[in-house]
Amino acid sequence: MGTEHIRNFSIVAHIDHGKSTIADRLLLMTGSVTEREFHQQLLDSMDLERERGITIKASAVTMDYVHEGQKYMINFIDTPGHVDFHYEVSRALAACEGALLVVDSSQGVEAQTVANAYLAVEAGLEIIPVLNKVDLPAAQPEVAAEEVETILGFSHDECYMVSAKSGLGMKELLTAIVEKLPAPLDRSNEALRALIFDSHFDGYRGVICYVRVVSGELKTGQKIMLMGSNRNYNVTELGKFKPQMVAVDSLGTGEVGYLIANIKSLADVTVGDTITDDANPADTPLPGYNPPMQMVFSDFYPADTGDYPKMKAAFEKLALNDSSFSFTPQNSPALGFGFRCGFLGLLHMEIIQERLERENDIGVVQTAPTVSYEILTTSGEVMRIDSPSQMPDPSLVAEFREPIVRLEIIMPKESIGAVMQLTEQRRCKLNKTEYISPIRVMMEFRAPLAEIVYDFYDVLKGATHGYATMDYELLGFEKSNLVKIDILVNKVAVDALSIIVHRSNAEARGRRLLIRLRRAINRHQFEIPLQVAIGGKIIARETIKAFRKDVTSKLYGGDITRKMKVLKKQKEGKKRMKSVGSVQIPQEAFMTVLKNED
């Protein structure tokens, strides 16, 4: 098929605005699936994706459509909407020429709609604005169209009014995809260059690469070279997702499909790499992607120490299909052997934890998530630390830098006061305020990632009665006055409870932390001191009282010395127990570190 009859597009939107439902409806309308095979969230194959109603992994599907007697090949790449999977969206857009920008007509433009629209514009894509869910009683398509015009600059006349669930307006949208989106450039005579935009691991066939052919032709049996790693492979199978995998003999310029070439490990394939012909290689590779940057780190320990090998095997399996997740062995005096894991964000962490418990039946003890910091040492070296335990001696630190993000919040105008109060508490600086409609405001802040990564979104939702949405983008690292707080339980520092905080609220945060720890750790047979230290200096203390047994209850009559003798014996026993006894710290105690406020 000539490139003029190929259309490659993606759908970008805020989470829950109907991307997957539009994809389902397009598959049904083009006859890619029959009514009998059809079900909701057809492209979301993971149980977790269905339960949470979100897309986690991008997926690609090829549809055939006849318009005015001419057959068209439409390649659609579904993308996630959540901020944690931002990098999946940018990868999918690089394989397309056009995008549908979907806005829920009852919700209006949200924070991630704006972020994903900018991504599509930066990628140079042709954009078709779509207002979905126009048949809902709460829908306000005119208001939503005005917001699209104000913020994103598309005329409200350009917006397509659809309801993906009922099929209203979808025929016109499908026609617009064919007529308005550009065809790929015809580069069939040039040397082969194909972009790997995703990959996953199959236990029987090895790595399956999702590819978009930019120039030349890819054929079964061809000897190919990955330009980034200089490795050679023979193509054993090519195919397309329709939406099931269907093998084909070749993929031409502009086409999207999958490639299998006996690649044994996902580590051998870099997403963003360029495939070329080994005998006739291209001169330059395609521009790839920046590798996904892990920003949240947490320690995972098995609840039962005997589960350590099982946990290691489970992490290896999870890492096979998720290149943005990493793990390294870790040992803690308090919790034993475990792993230090890196994630893109908190939702990513939650999903990995849930898959670990559900698919492998392993009980998990998890420590407080922390973000990455940069440290400039006195010798001029820049170190990246992912946990407070990696921090060098304070005397060697010349500068402490923390990650800073650009934070965008869209909210009703009545919530401005509450949001300003919350952002002030979290050390955010206001950059600009913009009214996107008479009743809704978009505010942009410069914020420390550590302050917004844990519970900020939940508190924001509470402060705005559930109406606010947020999106953030990493700007870089910036010098800050930070200190490491150590928690000593029974005079022993527990690494897993250490946190890095701003010096201005270190003491207050340490005291609140101790009060919560005192409530979370059960009483023992001996007294347990809890202390907060900065460097070597103790700045706060709480005490968990020991259980008291009345050892004198059986004594009757006699001299007072008899009673004192028994009490002294009890005191010595408690003292001995305190020196040899170990303190049992429950999982809830580690989670108390996370909470910012009571």
H or E stretch covering 416 = helix 416-425
Give me the DSSP letters along 291-348. Answer: PPPP-EEEEEEESSGGGHHHHHHHHHHHHHT-TT-EEEEEEETTTEEEEEEEESSHHH
17 is in an annotated binding site: yes
154 CB neighbour count, 10 Å cutoff: 16
Q: Is 18 annotated as a binding residue?
A: yes
Token code pair at residue 427: 């050390």
Q: Look up residue 475 and give its two tokens.
A: 């700007």
Nearest to 482 by CA among 343, 373, 586, 592: 373
Question: Would the annotation count 171 as a binding residue?
Answer: no
Question: Is 21 flagged in the annotation as binding?
Answer: yes
| 278 assigned ligand-binding residue | no
Is residue 134 annotated as involved in ligand binding? yes
Q: What does DSSP assign to residue 67?
A: E
- Nearest Cα to Cα of residue 544 among 510, 561, 508, 519: 519
Q: Report the first-to-last Cα separation within the chain, whole angstroms.
A: 64
Sign of the dihedral through C-alpha 454, 458, 460, 462: negative
Residues 6+ positions from 37 with CB-CB distance below 8 Å:
none
Q: Is 64 annotated as a binding residue?
A: no
Binning the chain into helix, strand and coil, the percentages to the nearest 5 are 30, 35, 35
61 annotated as belonging to a binding site for a ligand: no
Q: Closest Cα partner for 253 from 198, 181, 195, 184?
A: 184
- Chain position carrying tokens 């699936």: 33
Burial class (CB in 10 A: 0-12, 13-18, 19+), 178: middle
Residue 298, beta-bridge partner list: 341
List all residues 6 or more positions away from 169 whose beta carbon is below 8 Å from its beta carbon. Answer: 134, 160, 161, 162, 163
Give 222-283 as a 3 state SS string.
CEEEECCCCEEEECCEEEEECCCEEEECEECCCCEEEEECCCCCHHHCCCCCEEEECCCCCC
Q: What is the SS3 assignment for 139? A: coil
Q: How far apart are CA 109 and CA 143, in angstroms?
A: 10
Q: Which of 216, 254, 258 is nearest to 240 (CA)?
A: 258
416-425 and 456-463 helices, crossing angle to 10°? 150
Sign of the dihedral defined by the CA atoms of residues 505, 506, 507, 512, in that order: positive
- The whole-angstrom separation of Cα 487 and Cα 493 is 6
Q: Is 53 annotated as a binding residue?
A: no
Q: How far is CA 411 from CA 92, 288, 536, in A?
A: 29, 35, 45
- Residue 537 annotated as binding? no
Known binding residues for GTP:
16-21, 132-135
The binding site comprises 16-21, 132-135
